[in-house]
Chain A
């Protein structure tokens, strides 16, 4: 069990599906290729980070609920510990000019990254008039009406069901 947690910790560190695949399918043979593909699909359509979800799928598949728990812990712990260290540094040095400068640079980069995420997702997802209208409506409701985002997502999901779910 500990060995397995170690393996998942590495999966978390590299955050790479290819690493999972090589380690779990090719080397350890804990999963077939097909099962692995199912795990990836499930990872993408369940809440939370897809890579962690695929890990949970693998853990559950191998050892049931305990495996799922071990997989989560193994993937989350390395990042968690590092975040604690960063939080301590942040708290202590937040007001120094050096860290202030670093954070200004980082903040600008984050906005840039966000822009590229919007571009990539938008290209893939907005495939017609109806999707475009949904996107604009969500933008307006969040930016100007400060609507509850959980409600927005629920309504968007319901709209999707009504638009695409019942027609043949």
Chain B
């Protein structure tokens, strides 16, 4: 039953996460942390970190969540649920690309969705900050990561790895 639910939620979330990685975070957070209680906020943060340090898209973090929820079958189910929407929709769109291209309806729908996603990301960011930025040291790490990512070209993976090393040394 858990597997069916896991598959269904991830399929729906990924169907709605256009533009990749971070767009799906508010959805995943709401369902897995707030609604089902399958993950704590800390575990959710850990999953994002895992997605960030592994090769390929952030979406692979869903395999980690799946494993946490239901072991190996969970990881497989989560991965299938996460990537099947892409497979179906891209195949369809490729087939009918010419009709879809630049359609005003499609463009206007996205103009509505994108600002909403920004607002939802702020909500999740605040909720997670409450868990992970408790001490002056973690706050410093968070600020440094923000500044590096926002104002330099340092790779996100590198930032996460460096923060992990700093944490292992100073936050034990």
| Chain A residues engaging chain B, CB cutoff 8 angstroms | 12-15, 38, 41-53, 56-57, 60-61, 65, 68-69, 72, 75-76, 78-80, 82-84, 86-87, 90-91, 97-122, 125-126, 131-132, 134-140, 142-143, 146, 148-150, 152-154, 156-161, 163-165
Contacts and interface: CB of A to CB of B under 8 A. Distances in A.
B159 to A, nearest CB: 6
B167 to A, nearest CB: 2
A50 B110 CA distance: 15
A158 B148 CA distance: 36
B150 A160 contact: no
Given A38-B97, A46-B90, A72-B83, 9 more contacts: A12-B57, A42-B93, A48-B17, A49-B58, A52-B86, A83-B75, A107-B132, A135-B115, A143-B127
Interface string B134-149: 0000110111111111
A142 B120 contact: yes
Given A56-B90, A86-B54, A105 B165 contact: yes
Q: Which of A44, A45, A105 has the most CB of B within 10 A?
A: A105
B59 A49 contact: yes
B147 to A, nearest CB: 8
B117 A108 contact: no
A152 B108 CA distance: 16
A80 to B, nearest CB: 5
Determine chain B's interface SS by DSSP, over half rule.
helix
A106 B45 contact: yes
Contact of A110 (B45, B79, B120): B45
Contacts of B61: 83
B108 A156 contact: no
B52 A110 contact: yes
B155 to A, nearest CB: 10
B16 A114 contact: no
B4 interface: no
Contacts of B128: 107, 110-111, 114
Contacts of B115: 125-126, 131-132, 134-135, 138, 156
Contacts of A100: 171-172
